[in-house]
Chain A
């Protein structure tokens, strides 16, 4: 079955520190991959996406993610975290073939930022 795993339920970092959120996927073929962020009481905002090509993708708010086929991973990174980055982060995937447009989400990683 297709699945997305985010191993870390909760991560706490100090403001200004670097951040890496882990995501692993299990799909028959390389899926399309996404990272979304959800602030309390808010909807899901797309941070970045990977369809094909360059394995290092840049997103909004200074985030980037690296696709590693050999590790079935798509980890999210930020070099310097700001207090406003505190939120819940979701990795998602969908098939790249026709008729497979719905997203499968990981359970999410909650990020806390210490001032």
Chain B
């Protein structure tokens, strides 16, 4: 158990819908990262938050957004969903600069 909790584990939704994925980082970790894992793109970095502030953006679509709340949990919002958004979405957290990232179990999103 990495200490990073993601909910829900599975999500099935229709095209055009909006979903919210939730992540609780390890106790004390201020950084939260979101990654998308798909068969064709592999593991891709989406966005990084540190103590409530956005720090870096990767290959994140404009239809996707994220935030980190004062209690440090984070949410990834995916809207106007398309079939191609079906993927495994991972959250990871880390502490200080020179520490490794620990990953949650992921949320498997299926868009039908």
Contacts and interface: CB of A to CB of B under 8 A. Distances in A.
A103 B42 CA distance: 12
B105 A101 contact: no
A92 B101 CA distance: 11
Contact of B45 (A51, A102, A108): A102
A106 B90 CA distance: 16
A110 interface: no
A100 B33 CA distance: 12
Contacts of B35: 103
A42 B33 contact: no
Contact of A44 (B45, B98, B103): B103
A72 to B, nearest CB: 20
Given A43-B105, A43-B106, A44-B90, A101 B100 contact: no
Interface in A82-115: 90, 92, 98-108
A82 B72 CA distance: 39
A106 B48 CA distance: 19
Contacts of A92: 43
Contacts, number: 54
B105 A102 contact: no
A43 B108 CA distance: 11
Contact of A90 (B43, B44, B56): B43
A46 B42 contact: no
B56 A43 contact: no
Given A34-B100, A51-B98, A99 B56 contact: yes
A42 B45 contact: no
A-B complex: 7 closest residue pairs judged by Cβ atoms? A105-B43, A44-B103, A43-B105, A102-B45, A43-B103, A107-B42, A49-B100
Interface of B: 2, 4, 31, 33, 35, 42-45, 48, 55-56, 58, 90, 92, 94, 97-98, 100-106
Given A101-B31, A103-B33, 8 more contacts: A43-B2, A43-B103, A43-B106, A46-B100, A49-B100, A98-B97, A100-B56, A102-B45
